[in-house]
Structure 1
Amino acid sequence: MKLRVLVLINAAAVAVTLSAVNYYFRHSWYDVMITFLATIITSFFVFYYLIEKYIYSKIKLIYKLIHNLKLGRDLRDALGEHVSADPINDVEQEVKEWARQKKTEIDELRTQEKFRRDFLSNISHEFKTPLFAIQGYIEAIQDDEFDDLDMARDFLTKASRNVDRLSYLIKDLDEISKLETGEMAINYSKFKINDLIKEVFESMEMKAKQHNIKLIFKQKYDEPIAVNADREKIIQVLVNLIDNSLKYGKEGGSTSISLFELHDQVLVEVTDDGIGIEEKYLPRLFERFFRTDTSRSRQIGGSGLGLAIVKHIIEAHQQTINVRSTESLGSTFGFTLQKSKQSLQFPNIPVLKN
């Protein structure tokens, strides 16, 4: 319809022009009317034919091409051929939308490319550090030819620690790769999160004493709270978060865990009173190999993948994790778990009285 209106307007313009020229020379309104009618009819059909054949048909073809490419063959076949009543306007909208999508895709590709470069740079550095250390210790022992046995034992011990660091790094990389690709299955089971936290605290009590940090889980959280999750992987989450709080905690400080029951979820929060994290670093905290304090992180050790693994485990449970922190005051890592739909049944144990 819009095409016919457009052609009619152009034909009318030509007819008016020729009629005006005819009147100028002949001064006859009858000739003007005949000229106007003949011109407008002839121009209409000529313009319509030319525009339809050489312009509009090409625009329709472009529109159908873009439309089909966007939908994909399977979806196009399911919906049937799409014929637009106004392909010029639709082409404009399709091209704008396509341009926006392509820009978004390009931005995402650039982000992924930067992430890939950073990842390769980080992993190269993480591997080189212990490898060069091992190489140095072995060369020192070879040069000394075991004349100083105490030094050789000391160097072998240090080389062994760096081998362990490489093993942890490879293990963590393999685990995070499986989590990202979905190869590592989540084995859901129903268990009491309270008992799990106490179990993890007991296993880490010795390490906490070495850092002179107190582990706190208040008695008010003793009431059984059942969750539905992968028990072993939640243990790993808690161990990684508590271990992180011990590494960056302050001597004589504390690490506490709190539980909050939501509608159909349980919020678990791990809080420390350590060095804290600058606000600018918080968005990147769960990135692989990201460290806020590089020099101290190297001394403390670790693969730099602990928090990334935690994030992937929680997201594999279709839950969320967040962090809030204040520099010099401490940090709180909180994650949610699905509350068990069926309450756990705990038997009543009779109390024996003397």
Structure 2
Amino acid sequence: MPNEPRKSKLITQSVTGICELVGFSAPTLGGGHGWLQGQYGLMADQVISARLLLPSGELVTVSEKTYPDLFWAIRGAGHNFGLVMEWEYRVYDDNAPLWSYEIFIYSGDKLEALYEEANRLLRDQPAELVHWGYIIKVAEVDPGHPVLWFGIIYNGSPEIATRYAKPFHDIGPLSVQTGQGSLHDLAVVTFQDADGPGCAYGMTSLRYPTGLKSYNVTAVRQVYNEIDSTFRKVPEIAGSFFLLEGYSTHAVKAIDAASTAFPHRDDNILVTSYVMYAPDSNIDPIAKELGEKVRKYLLDGSEDPEHLRAYVNYANGDESLQAIYGWETWRLEKLKKLKAQWDPKNTMRYYVPIEQNINWF
């Protein structure tokens, strides 16, 4: 029929976030990690242009050719500059629709062996592979202590996934689950779907992110012990978990770090506590102390303990602007200059604002 829309014969895909609940625009504005970033880069790297509603009410198209400084800023610090009404975004042919995974559950005593092996994997992790871990309470597996949940997730055949997973079998897991599916299935596999624990409504949820180059196994052990001890002392927060995201970074690092406002391209791992509990003012200081402690363990054990690198989309709000927007002096200077130019009244100040002051007039 002449009025019927043309349908592509190709199946396409693009870089999207992990968690189903947060939507598309929000993670893109802060950089946007995803399953496909090793192959194509961050979500922000896929943006060709955006229709941006400025605080003044003006609607502009930002791209490399029009308003290039604003285009730079919205890819990593975008929530400071306006509302995106429309994206022009790169998509790719889906020539490898199959994803294969092996999910391991270990007891806490396997932590050192597990994360030493994860460090070895980091040195040779291909663009198509992600490793993903939790320190989490699973009462039916171990009613007394958190377990180590660890996934090898590969965009390709199970035979290749098994090759990368083989060393993790040798550690001695309590259980192993293998499977295959599509990109859309991964949120369920990793508990990041709309029904997953991190998406529970009505809960207090605190994150304390840290970007790392590698796992300091001693520090990860300290994290585990602190979580184990706190869960037993304060069962109200035993539904919390610790998240270790090991995306591939091949395509992320292939992009000039100065070309976007996203400042953390050198990081290989993104880790964060997710302290979650029913709202309770008596628990708030305990949760805060737990989050701060485990982040300090990891930062102190990192390659650069003086410079926290905190992913803006996970930020708690107590981090310095340098930790979130970059320690290079020019980055924050450029953002502040653009903020003064395009939002002099600091209208866009709700979340981790570049400028803290409020100027109404």
TM over 0.5: no
> Which structure dedicates a bigger proportion of its chain to helix?
1
Structure 1 length-normalised TM: 0.21
Which one has the largest radius of gyration? 1
Higher relative contact order (CA 8 A, sep 6+): 2
Structure 2 length-normalised TM: 0.21
